[in-house]
Amino acid sequence: MQTQDLFNTPDAPETTRLEQLKQQIHEHDRRYYVLDEPSIPDAEYDRLFKELQALEARHPELITPDSPTQRVGGGVLDQFASVRHAVPMLSIRTETDSEASGAQNFDARVRRELGLDESAPPVEYVAEPKFDGLAMSLRYEQGVLVKAATRGDGEMGEDVTQNIRTIGQIPLRLPPDVPPVLEVRGEVYMRRADFEALNEKQRAKGLKTFVNTRNAAAGAVRQLDSGIAAQRPLSFFAYGLGEVTPPEAGGPSFATHHEMLQTLKIWGFPVAAGVSIALGASDLVAYYQTIGAQRDALPYDIDGVVYKVNSLALQRRMGFVTREPRWAVAHKFPAQEQLTVVLGIDVQVGRTGKLTPVAKLAPVFVGGVTVTNATLHNEDEARRKDVRVGDTVIVRRAGDVIPEVVSVVVPTNAALAQRGEVFTMPRVCPVCGSAAVREEGEADYRCTGGLFCSAQRKQAILHFAQRRAVEVEGLGEKLVDQLVDGNVIRTLPDLYRLGLSALAALDRMADKSAQNIVEALEKSKQTTLPRFLFGLGIRHVGEATAKELARHFGNLDAIMDATEEQLLQVNDVGPIVAKSLRLFFDQPHNREVVEQLRACGVTWPEGPPAPVTPQPLSGKTFVITGTLPTLSRDEAKALIEAAGGKVAGSVSKKTTFVVAGTEAGSKLTKAQELGVAVLDEAGLQELLNDHS
């Protein structure tokens, strides 16, 4: 993609270029984080950012708080300073009646306050989602973010500026037409996908997980180390104003709340797409029901909606009561957390063999559905939360996330005696009886009976039939679902016993399509040993490893019978892969499946074991990037692998060489940052020739 650098003037003084870069990057941040319309590739953005960093390193006196480089945060604080809000951050009255009457009662109160009779036209409102996050006040002076503060008690909050700077959606500098003083109020929150990814990382590290998105967001905002806060994926929505320069002093003059929100969008703040104007109680009810129906599909958690009188003049006329505005209300949705009792703990086996403990619950209505099962994720998580049979637990269901046990309610002394045993993961698969193992450094146990285990049947068939394995053209996910769900096939060899009549009898399967599948299955019987080995779906055995195993041993029987020590002699096979191979072939039913496949006619040319030849590039890892003059990437990869080297997809500290051609992008930059040696094609050929 070609990009036009509107600000790039090579002859400009460095100080001018520095300011130009700031403007550019602020605009790209706005397009990326607020508009979701990135205008340049990531590599180009990284180039601009690094240029700015380099200029600031040469001119540290020009570093300002609004520089994009200052998002990374400063040092570690001892504590947060207190901040007095110029305009108090007041709370909104909560309406817990989750029926239509909740909205109707609010509208009736507003009409009474305004003295409107039944003949008066409906009141105009703004209806907004109620985000489940942390209220935040952002103070800008002369267009630059100078202070970010939590709500606190409404009068006094905490200064969390250095953490808020790390949120990409919050602008550090505003357009020149904003008022001299502008205090924007909004919500810091965490998107569901980011929350799940964060918890998955926590579980993988054996660390405590976060209870919900609000706790995760609040915890990140209140980190004394902004470097940690920067690693937590936070987002922001603007929904109101605090102190603003008054119109008579050059500030804005808004007639309605909705107009103010639209102006905030123009100034660069994200505003929720679900904001809508509503006329009267009927529109409020319709909005509540619509957003309630969409709640599970939203990318973030909400716990209700907020209604506000749209006219700012009417808001001022209605005023406040006990520190709550009369002109607004938060209409809550039904709770997404409830209490229930654990009746048992079962273990489920996923498509990839992962074993997951699942709490069987006394039925409870939560998040709009009746929940009877909730995930405990893995053995470590179940033990960390100390969930046992008989416990009363908090269950949460938010959006399309699988219901989970959040925590155990502290049992009474009487209940302590009735608690079940501490949960322990079974060491055999509850579905097929194969060994269940947990690899070193892994959080999950997995079933080793991939080809045999009925829970993994669909995944095993799809993996075996894919283009990079034995390749059965036309055998896709929908057809496999039909074959397995209809008990037409139970094991992998059953594929090759399929007849034309059995296929043609399936729903929406024409005779011609059935014939094509039969022919594709027959064609797939002629394969290669690496493809067949890869198709077996042995954990950690990818295409490259399968090739090395086939080259080293020459035939499948030798691979199946090899000891771990013998397997470790193969290039690209380490202790984890060797152990995985042995676990797989030590299962009698896996060997039986292999023998049945051979009996069905699946075959490949076998050869003698590879002669013991020096592998000069053994132990070296290469990354190929850009376009090489004469070699394709596949050709370069084949040459490297033939010499014993490994080709990886990304650059890390473990990379030995990066082979770079023209238009090499971020991988080359990463190599230079890490000090990894860089070769061109000629350098690669020279390296290969030196060792030939």
* Count of CB atoms situated within 10 Å of the CB of 574: 12
> Considering only CA atoms, which of 188, 186, 314 is closest in space to residue 242?
186
Cα–Cα distance, 670 to 651 (Å, whole number):
7
- Dihedral through CA 50, CA 51, CA 55, CA 57, nearest 10? 20
The Cα 645–Cα 626 span in angstroms is: 19
Q: How far apart are CA 247 and CA 84, in angstroms?
A: 23
Q: In sequence order, which residues have a C-beta less than 8 Å from that of residue 410 and are 6 or more positions away?
A: none
Non-local (6+) Cβ contacts of 685 within 8 A are: none
* C-alpha span between 505 and 514 (Å, rounded): 9
Encoded tokens for 602: 């699946």
Q: How many other CB atoms sit within 10 Å of the CB of residue 70?
A: 17
The residues carrying an active-site annotation are 130
- Tell me the one-letter amino acid at 415: A
For tokens 């990374």, the residue is 72
CA angle 302, 230, 145 (to 5 degrees): 80
Q: What are phi and psi of 404, to 5 degrees?
A: -135, 155
Which of 544, 588, 600, 351 lies closest to 460 in space, CA to CA? 351
Amino acid at residue number 72: V
- Cα separation of 327 and 517, whole Å? 66
Task: Determine the Cα–Cα distance for residues 89 and 107; give it in Å rounded to an integer.
Answer: 24
> How far, in whole angstroms, is CA 117 from its chain's centroid?
52
Residue pair 479/566 in contact (Cβ under 8 Å)? The answer is no
Phi, psi of 179 (to 5 degrees): -65, 155
Local structure of residue 34 (DSSP, 8 states): I
Q: Which residues pair with 359 in a beta bridge?
A: 345, 374
Residue 225 phi, psi dihedral angles, 5° rounding: -100, 110
What number of other Cβ atoms are within 10 A of residue 44's Cβ? Answer: 18
CB contact set of 212 (below 8 Å; sequence gap of 6+)? 132, 195, 301, 337, 396, 398, 406
In b/e form, how buried is each residue of 650-659, taking b as 16+ CB within 10 angstroms? Answer: ebeeebbbbb
Contact 299, 197 (CB under 8 A): no
> Residue 336 — φ and ψ, nearest 5°?
-105, 5
